[in-house]
Chain A
Amino acid sequence: MAKIVLDGVDKVYSGGVKAVDDLNLEITDGEFMVLVGPSGCGKSTALRMIAGLEEITDGELFIGDQVVNDRPPKDRDIAMVFQNYALYPHMSVEQNLAFGLKLRKISKSEIKRRVDEAAAMLGLAPYLKRKPAALSGGQRQRVAMGRAIVREPQAFLMDEPLSNLDAKLRVQMRASLNQLHERLGVTTVYVTHDQVEAMTLGDRVAVLRDGRLQQVDTPKNLFDNPVNLFVAGFIGSPAMNFVGAEMQQDGDAAVLKFADHTLPVPHATLSERPRLRDYFGRQIILGIRPSDFDDASLFPNGGTAMEVTADITEELGTEINVIFGIDAPPVQHEEAAALAADAAGDGELEAAAMPLSGNKSVFTARVNPRSNVRPGGTLELAVDTTQLHYFDKESGLAIGHPANR
């Protein structure tokens, strides 16, 4: 096991396209690091550079204490799991698992021990003699994992290993991946475009966009303290709501005005982020998580309320997603546009891409399932104003975030 350090790593393709731009990342020994971002953000390229499948244009890559820029994959002691599993179709499961060990001239008895151990761990023992073609998708995925495990490498590199599985199996495998990491404790770099996978698996999550690192932090910190509009909108499902708002001083505290709504800015927030005072009398972008709303009628003391008209309700049993319009133009920012483009491609953040109501901002609120909200009905929404997110209108950076000072 070892730590992996990327120090100013660049990747420029022959056409001049910069896929990865000055990436600095330190993955500590035994850590589960997830690289996440929309397609084309450079996350896979970064992983492939760590693996040695892609040349590093500039910068240094350390595995352990050694610079490995110029070492071929076989001398890096890493194991990789591919999106489409990449099992050798002409070899049985057993041969697939043993292939990398045989190449490393490991003794037969040791190979057998490791293969049997991994097969038992992954429930593959009954299938050892089968060819990959005779396995189900989930089993193939486990063989691919097994091939990495038997190697007992310095680090696991996984390139969207769950994306070819159906939804239910993916949730199962996610849990087993978590267990596996607990058990083996091997440094792992995991690439995904699925932010739920990123949040549930990662010790830390690195969000990338256009080849640039946006933020690295624990899942909870990413969710609570996103560094900019992009991270705020990318992490969390349903996505964070954005609206342009005017910040006004109100005695010792402040208020935010947008459309016909007014939200107070708590005193605590102002003292925590003194930079906010610079924005008095100016437009900012306000972000509110759907989960920071709730039905005010169920929580009479839930703080500030907003009255809205529900357009659509999605009853999920455990919660109701209420989609409503705010009478303010949608946020015009390139990062918001990038998010919308990604959502349109993915179909996951449905609200962002929906041409619902012309020049209105579309909001989503996640309310308690016992709420009586109906489409077309009015709803008093309680807002947790301590959890509001404030972004600079021009730069898109979170105002007062430690990284932006």
Chain B
Amino acid sequence: MTHAPMTSPVARVRRRLSGRTASAAAIVIAVVWTVPTAGLLVSSLRPEEQIKTTGWWSFFTDPTMTLRNYDEVLFGRPSSGQLASYFVNSFVIAVPTMVFVVTLAALAAYALAWTRFPGRDWLFVGIFALQIVPLQMSLVPLLRLFSEGVAIGGVEVMPPWDLQGAFQFTTVWLAHTVFGLPLGIFLMHNFVAQLPHSLVEAARADGAGHGVIFRRVVLPLIVPALVSLAIFQFLWVWNDLLVALIFAGGNVEVAPLTVRLAEMAGTRGDEWQRLTAGAFVSMIVPLIVFFSLQRYFVRGLLAGSMKG
């Protein structure tokens, strides 16, 4: 090494992670992870008979391409997939949830970091501790809350939520928001609490109250963290099967893509041409999100670990 020795632990880790061996390992991992995905993409574009008779790699010797599979799963008869409406459902579930989580997490993080009220630290510890509770634990109680309401000593405090039609999304939104908030608040808090004290104090001396400080000073400065959280939350909800299955069921009105795909794999496990196309339809959104917002991913992962 001709460089001056880097002594800080961060520098050492960085050096090791960018070394030749590490890079080679990273490339191997990337290839191993990508090949099945590429195979899926290729398969989804091949005609039905070929998929069922030969492996996807024979595509390179006998390239026949068709979009029939996609047409069928997206817009075909209900039995063949009808994924287009489930695709829309996925968005209707993921986008509002993302907005709720990001908004509430940012507000809560500000309150926990910059306002003083008794029990603040305990509240934060409590929220942090909630991350330890597996969400499976709360599925049944939450579902009962929605379907039976709450009664204390025979007095009905909250009636059952007998939701119909599009209102059925409400329970899914609520469930996802509740499950997403602890981590969201924790991440946002780390970021918000790192803003310099004097910045908030300067705003107070300038005549700003909490509302103005949050909107005009804090919010613009935590945009990168907000975007990271939004991405993570969106992807998490988009890829979720368990919560959606329990709170939305398999109904075409509200069920998201993941639920439909699982169903197709179960009931139509031999119709590979539809499964591959369907899987790719559900993957395309995460892929677009990842590639277009890549730089925020890295920042989001580092949130709280470094200053600035």
Residues of A whose CB lies within 8 Å of any CB of B are 51-53, 72-74, 78-80, 82-90, 99-100, 103-104, 147, 151, 157
Contacts and interface: CB of A to CB of B under 8 A. Distances in A.
A269 B205 CA distance: 50
Contacts of A74: 204-209
Interface in B194-213: 196, 198-199, 201-209, 212
Contact of B217 (A72, A79, A84, A88): A88
Most chain A beta carbons < 10 A, residue from B196, B201, B208, B216? B201
A157 B198 CA distance: 13
Contacts of A82: 198, 201-202
Contacts of B201: 51, 53, 80, 82, 86
B19 interface: no
B207 A80 contact: no
The 8 closest A-B pairs by CB, nearest first: A100-B206, A86-B198, A74-B207, A86-B202, A80-B205, A82-B198, A90-B220, A103-B207
B221 interface: yes
A51 B206 contact: no
Contact of A84 (B196, B206, B216, B220): B196
A83 B198 contact: yes
A80 B202 contact: yes
B204 A103 contact: no
7 contacts: A53-B204, A74-B208, A100-B205, A100-B207, A103-B208, A147-B202, A151-B206
Contact of A78 (B199, B202, B205, B217): B205
B267 to A, nearest CB: 53
Contacts of B199: 86, 88
Contacts of A85: 198
B198 to A, nearest CB: 4
Interface residues of B, number: 17
Interface in B168-204: 196, 198-199, 201-204
A80 B199 CA distance: 11
Nearest to B220: A90
A70 to B, nearest CB: 15
Nearest to B198: A86
A79 B205 contact: yes
* Chain B facing A: main interface SS: helix
Given A74-B209, A103-B212, A86 B204 contact: no
Nearest to A90: B220
A401 B22 CA distance: 75
Contacts of A89: 221
A4 to B, nearest CB: 15
Given A51-B205, A88-B199, A90-B221, 6 more contacts: A72-B209, A74-B205, A86-B198, A87-B202, A90-B220, A99-B216
Contact of B205 (A53, A83, A104): A53
A78 to B, nearest CB: 7
Interface in B202-238: 202-209, 212, 216-217, 220-221
Contacts of A83: 198
A157 B205 CA distance: 10
A82 B204 CA distance: 12
A51 B206 CA distance: 11
A309 B217 CA distance: 62
Contacts of A147: 202, 206
Nearest to A76: B205
B196 to A, nearest CB: 7
Contacts of B220: 90
A133 B201 CA distance: 20
B20 to A, nearest CB: 36
Nearest to A159: B198
Nearest to B205: A80
A51 B201 CA distance: 10
B221 to A, nearest CB: 6
A323 to B, nearest CB: 38
B144 to A, nearest CB: 43
B110 to A, nearest CB: 16
Nearest to B209: A74
Contacts of A73: 204-205, 207
A389 to B, nearest CB: 39
B192 to A, nearest CB: 15
Interface in B78-111: none
A103 B206 contact: yes
A86 B199 CA distance: 5
Contacts of B206: 74, 79, 99-100, 103, 147, 151
Interface string B56-82: 000000000000000000000000000
A90 B203 CA distance: 13
A85 B201 CA distance: 11
A277 B98 CA distance: 83
A86 to B, nearest CB: 4
Nearest to B212: A103
A46 to B, nearest CB: 15
A51 B198 CA distance: 12
A84 B198 CA distance: 8
B133 to A, nearest CB: 32
Contacts of B212: 103
Nearest to A80: B205
* Residue with the greatest number of chain A CB neighbours at <10 A, chosen from B196, B205, B212, B220: B205
